[in-house]
Structure 1
Amino acid sequence: MDSIIFLFSLFFALELFESNWQKSDTLYGLLDNNYQVYKKNIFLYFIMNPTFLFSLYLAITLNNFGFWMISIIVLKFLDISMRLNVMQKIDKDEEITTLVPFDINMNIYLRYMNILIYIPALTFALFL
């Protein structure tokens, strides 16, 4: 049980890390933060998004391939894929307003939406 709590706490800390390095006041600012890391190195970009790999690690080591764990992995995969797609289009000098037509303000709920979604899902995956 202690190891599960440790893994859960580590997942929470990694989610906070992801939220904080991407932090910005607007959606375009968030995309710019992602693009700055993507521009440096694609591998650095994946390292800066550790919860996808950690989710895979949890699923394999805990032999947990239930609905909730697979949902976390699929959502994280789609999230990273979508952001990489946007980064590639920005790299090709496409206008950001054609990709994302509106720039919304990132309030605290949007900024930490990943924690509000993934932590309860991980709780269900580990304890149900």
Structure 2
Amino acid sequence: MMNDAVFFIVLLILCEIFESWWQHAPTLGGVLEKVRHYYHIDIFVLLLMHPSFWLVLFIFLYQGGRGTLLSLILVMKAADLAFKLWMVRKIDEGALSAEFRGMLSVPLSPWMPWINVVIYPALLAMALTG
């Protein structure tokens, strides 16, 4: 079981690095533009560009669908993806307020796009070893 946990944690780290790499931008608006690009190619391409979601879903099912922390990670990953999709739709509709559009141009901290590489694997480690 410990070998499985280490394997899944390392795999999740690699998935999170990939996601942070392709989404990396100086502002939230830049991140959403990258997401929007893949969304307009095809929604399934965008979903495939989030391998950590699919990995966490697999781990959740592999563990028998039990575990509060695994459920939390899955809900957080799903909410992140749903929020991005919602934001892209609102941008396409032109339904964002001027204040909100202004927030999209605020610079992100250099560590902000990479925090998922630490948080999700740490939560997964706690879920699989606890």
* TM surpasses 0.5: yes
Q: Distance in 2 between matches of 1:124 and 1:64?
A: 16
> What does residue 110 of structure 1 align with?
112
Task: Note closer, same or farther for the CA distance 1:11–1:96 as it changes in structure 2 (3 Å cut).
Answer: farther
> What does residue 55 of structure 1 align with?
56
Q: Distance in 1 between matches of 2:80 and 2:31?
A: 13
Q: Which has the higher contact order (CA 8 A, sep 6+)?
A: 2
Q: Distance in 2 between matches of 1:97 and 1:119?
A: 36
When structure 1 is superposed on structure 2, of 91-100 and 12-21 the one drifting more is: 91-100
Q: Distance in 1 between matches of 2:28 and 2:10?
A: 28
Contact 1:52 1:77 in 2 (8 A): yes
Q: 2:20 aligns to what SS in structure 1?
A: helix
What RMSD over aligned residues (CA atoms) do the two structures have, in Å? 1.7
> What does residue 15 of structure 2 align with?
14
Aligned-pair CA distance for 1:53: 1.4
When structure 1 is superposed on structure 2, of 57-66 and 17-26 the one drifting more is: 57-66
Task: Note closer, same or farther for the CA distance 1:62–1:99 as it changes in structure 2 (3 Å cut).
Answer: same
**TM-score between the two structures when normalised by the length of structure 1:** 0.90
Aligned-pair CA distance for 1:100: 4.8
Task: Note closer, same or farther for the CA distance 1:65–1:108 as it changes in structure 2 (3 Å cut).
Answer: farther
Contact 1:90 1:96 in 2 (8 A): no
Which runs of structure 2 are paired with 1:85-100 in the superposition (5 Å)?
85-95=86-96, 97=98, 99-100=100-101
Q: Which amino acid aligns with 2:4?
A: S
What number of residue pairs does the alignment pair up? 128
Q: Distance in 2 between matches of 1:95 and 1:36?
A: 18
Percent of aligned pairs with the same residue? 27
